[in-house]
A = this chain, B = another copy of it.
Amino acid sequence: MNPARVRRFLTDLKKGKLTIDETLSKLKLLPFEDIGDAVIDHHRELRRGFPEAILAEGKSVDQIARIAKKMKQRGSNVLITRLSPQNARELKKKLPELDYHRLARIGLILGKRIEKQGKGTILVVCAGTSDLPVAEEAALTAQVLGNEVDRLTDVGVAGVHRLLAQKEKLTQARVLIVVAGMEGALPSVVGGLLARPVIAVPTSVGYGASFQGVAALLSMLNSCVPGVVVVNIDNGYGAGCAASLINKS
């Protein structure tokens, strides 16, 4: 509650500029005003250098194009996730500057140069070939958000030595994103080796009782390694954002 503002209401009431009912209804709205003040300043700060993203899934090409144009006009970089090849082709007709990354299923419109803001390297570790689209979504997101990104691919727990052979890369990262489907054990093994933040990303890779990634998700949430944190199934974009927030802190 902003005391100055309430004092003004009371003065106006006393002076007869407001009736009791008007004053009462103004008091009812106080939390709205308070929140508004609090948020708006902050929001400006938040938006600095942070491109807004569009989740293409569940939107028509027309809707995507309309939103992207608005963002572009405001000078934002535009990042479109889960963009299918077909939709990318159609979208490109409306937005020729669109840059489509097929493996990551990401469309980019980069008006501003990306400046490196992260303090270290983000390493994206990927269990198997089929997990690559999600890993690439994470890696590309982190890059667009201004981070140095490294990749480590096809190092599942079935052959732990393949992972360990890459100790250089592992120990040099400041933040790790570990992407795995099926039994989702890789983040636990990686997390057990290093004193770095590990963001685990379950993928929907698998069949039967993997339940489209639920097995991997539960595995990661129940990791016996403390400090492993988890994002939604296939949510490479969210992992890239989280890693970026950490890397910039």
Contacts and interface: CB of A to CB of B under 8 A. Distances in A.
A209 to B, nearest CB: 4
A36 interface: yes
A190 to B, nearest CB: 10
Contacts of A230: 221, 229-231
Scoring A202, A206, A230 by chain B CB atoms within 10 A of each residue's CB, the highest score goes to A230
A219 B219 contact: yes
A84 interface: no
B14 A1 contact: no
A114 interface: no
A226 interface: yes
A179 to B, nearest CB: 13
A214 interface: yes
A164 B34 CA distance: 8
A153 B215 contact: no
Given A6-B27, A227-B245, A45 B234 contact: no
A7 interface: yes
A246 B1 CA distance: 27
**Integer count of this chain's copies in the complex:** 8
A37 B154 contact: yes
Given A130-B59, A188-B157, A226 B237 contact: yes
Nearest to A120: B249
A76 interface: no
A245 B48 CA distance: 21
A204 B213 contact: no
B222 A183 contact: yes
Scoring A156, A157, A171, A209 by chain B CB atoms within 10 A of each residue's CB, the highest score goes to A209
Contacts of A161: 30-32, 34-36, 39-40, 43
Contacts of A50: 195, 226
Scoring A6, A35, A132, A244 by chain B CB atoms within 10 A of each residue's CB, the highest score goes to A35
Contacts of A44: 158-159
Interface in A192-216: 192-199, 202, 204-216
A95 interface: no
18 contacts: A10-B10, A29-B167, A36-B165, A37-B154, A39-B160, A39-B161, A39-B193, A44-B158, A45-B195, A47-B192, A48-B225, A55-B130, A157-B225, A183-B185, A183-B188, A184-B219, A185-B188, A227-B238
